[in-house]
Amino acid sequence: MTFTWWCSALDEPWSWAWQAYPGVWVVVALLAGGYVWAARRAPDREPLTMRHLGPFGLGMLALWAVLDWPVGPLGAGYLASVHTAQYLVLALVVPGLLLAGTPPWMLRRVLGSGRRLRVVRVCTRPILAFAFFNVVMAGTHIPAVVDALKVSQLGSFAIDLCWFLAGFAFWLPVMAPLPELDPPRLPGRIVFALANVFLPTVPASFLTFAEYPIYAVYELAPRVTALSAVEDQQIAGLTMKIGGGIIIFTTASALFFRWYRAHSAEESTALQVPSTSS
Amino acid sequence: MDGAVSRARALAIVLVALWACGPGTPRPGDLRGVALAAPWAKPDFVLTDTDGAAFDFRAATAGTVTMLFFGFTECPDICPVQLANLAAALDKQPGEVARAVRVVFVTTDPERDTPERVRSWLNGFSRDFVGLVGPIDSVNAIQQRIGLAPAVRIPLEDDDYTIGHAAQIVAYTADERAHVVYPSGVRQDDWAHDLPLLVRGQWGARP
């Protein structure tokens, strides 16, 4: 049995025999362990509830599922469609769930109050966060980059890490978990979320409409399913476009309704003020 | 006077060089396959096709672009990827190019690859691909005559075995010679680039 620490493209036929990826377990264990360690030091008046534990647990489960066998190696070296599904989950699902599961006091402890906080505050300014998220998204879908990095464990790990970090760059301005990070107001957060829909359309379109496979790593891999390399690539493009669109539009809609409710409440308060004073 | 002669000589050399590189001059380096140092002659052999009829390779493929590939249907990686990529590229070629290319597959595992099995497997790529079977000694002799390594049976666990074999697809052009081979790793885009050039005999042509 081949023993590897991270999933990468292998020059061998796909096998349904289980493979161990200890690097994935270490990452998942460190994140989960850190959370439990921090939770045990929760302030008495702010114990963790299912409101936090649920999303965090789901986020960890999703992280583990997309990195470990079989999804991890399938996406790393066999199917472009699984590769883009991994991208969606790692960048647009997991960071959001982990942030939703992290109470503000815990996040403050993680970020501290010094240089780390200042760096995160700068990096999550909408313009920089937009640039970072989209540069990572576009860069990690360039054929030369994918073909060069996916064949090594370190390269494959680098792509996964970039997606994960870019996901935080997207979700921190959207979710605005801490006021000290100077997040934009709700309308700004809606615009920021929607702005991130457009650039992923470019690689998604290339994947969907290319006449020939664009990634050598998936084209030359032994086939896992009856799908041809081009069909697999088309599914990848549609997954990226439709899946990403659904997540971002749902998020923007949720923010819009929150802003609408807040706006309506403000208006009704404003209307009540004269009647109580007269 | 001497200067004029030298200039005339230089001009002649340039003209000859331009002519040598001109349209229609075969230069395998223009293709994306691996150019052969010296062309390989098309082999003359007869094997049995998947309908059970004798297939005279040289006669049946005369004057066409013919892709000859040796492999086996249980091959887990190279054979299906090579044939799938060639089939996909052919499928997207204009009719006159696609119709001008013949693909001939010779099994290196006659023990397991019956004609029916070869046909069924090839149909997964294209019904137009020709499948040939014959005794392994004959198949290996053909490969060695061409310049390819003979197939080797490699024992596996539980009395199973696999076959080590040459991974190149040999491309014979209308001049009955192969100037280029396509090793494992050739992509659909490479085939799409080379097939029209091979068919139209324009490989090596300057734009």
Q: Classify residue A5 as left (phi > 0), alpha (psi -120 to 50) or beta.
A: alpha
Instruction: Take residue B187 and report the two structure tokens written for it.
Output: 């992509």
Report chain B residues touching chain A, CB-CB < 8 A: 76-77, 80-81, 84-85, 88-89, 92, 184-185, 187-189, 192
Q: What is the pLDDT of residue B22?
A: 41
Q: What is the pLDDT of residue A5?
A: 96
Cβ contact, residue pair B88, A216, below 8 Å: no
CA distance B18 to chain A (A): 35
The better pLDDT of the pair B143, B22 is held by B143
Q: What is the pLDDT of residue B176?
A: 95
pLDDT in tens for each of the 278 residues of chain A? 556 999 999 989 999 999 999 999 999 999 999 999 999 988 887 888 999 999 999 999 999 999 999 999 999 999 999 999 999 999 999 999 999 999 999 999 999 888 999 999 999 999 999 999 999 999 999 999 999 999 999 999 999 999 999 999 999 999 999 999 999 999 999 999 999 999 999 999 999 999 999 999 999 999 999 999 999 999 999 999 999 999 999 999 999 999 999 888 888 887 776 555 44
Pick the residue of B78, B188, B195 with the most A CBs within 10 A to test the interface with A by mutation. B188
Q: What is the pLDDT of residue A273?
A: 61
What is the DSSP pairing of strand B65-71 with strand B101-107? Answer: parallel
The model's pLDDT over B75-126, given as tens digits with 9 standing for 90+, comes to: 999 999 999 999 999 999 999 999 999 999 999 999 999 999 999 999 999 9
Residues of chain B with C-beta less than 8 angstroms from the C-beta of A229: 84-85, 88, 188
CA–CA separation, A197 vs B122, rounded Å?
Answer: 43
The model's pLDDT over B140-191, given as tens digits with 9 standing for 90+, comes to: 999 999 999 999 999 999 899 999 999 999 999 999 999 999 999 999 999 9
CA distances from A181 to A112, A178, B170 (A): 12, 6, 63
CA–CA separation, B115 vs B117, rounded Å?
Answer: 5
Cβ contact, residue pair A211, B92, below 8 Å: yes
Q: Which H or E run contains B133?
A: strand B130-133
Instruction: Take residue A216 and report the two structure tokens written for it.
Output: 């050598």
Residue B132's contacts (CB-CB under 8 Å, 6 or more residues apart) are: B47, B48, B49, B50, B55, B57, B104, B105, B106, B107, B118
Instruction: Please determine, for residue B3, whether its predicted confidence score (pLDDT) is greater than 80.
Output: no
Q: Which H or E run contains B101?
A: strand B101-107
CA–CA separation, B206 vs B113, rounded Å?
Answer: 44
With bands split at pLDDT 50, 70 and 90, how would you rate the model's confidence at B203? Answer: low
Q: What is the pLDDT of residue B121?
A: 98
Cβ contact, residue pair B77, A12, below 8 Å: yes
- The DSSP secondary-structure symbol of A180 reads G
What does pTM read for this prediction?
0.88
**Mean pLDDT for the stretch of residues B26-38:** 80
Q: What is the pLDDT of residue B169?
A: 98
- Of A220, A221, A230, which is closest to B88 when you measure between CB atoms? A230
Instruction: Please determine, for residue B53, whether its predicted confidence score (pLDDT) is greater than 60.
Output: yes
Residues of chain A with C-beta less than 8 angstroms from the C-beta of B187: 212-213, 216, 219-220
Residues of chain B with C-beta less than 8 angstroms from the C-beta of A211: 92, 192
CA–CA separation, A184 vs A191, rounded Å?
Answer: 10
The better pLDDT of the pair B56, A113 is held by B56
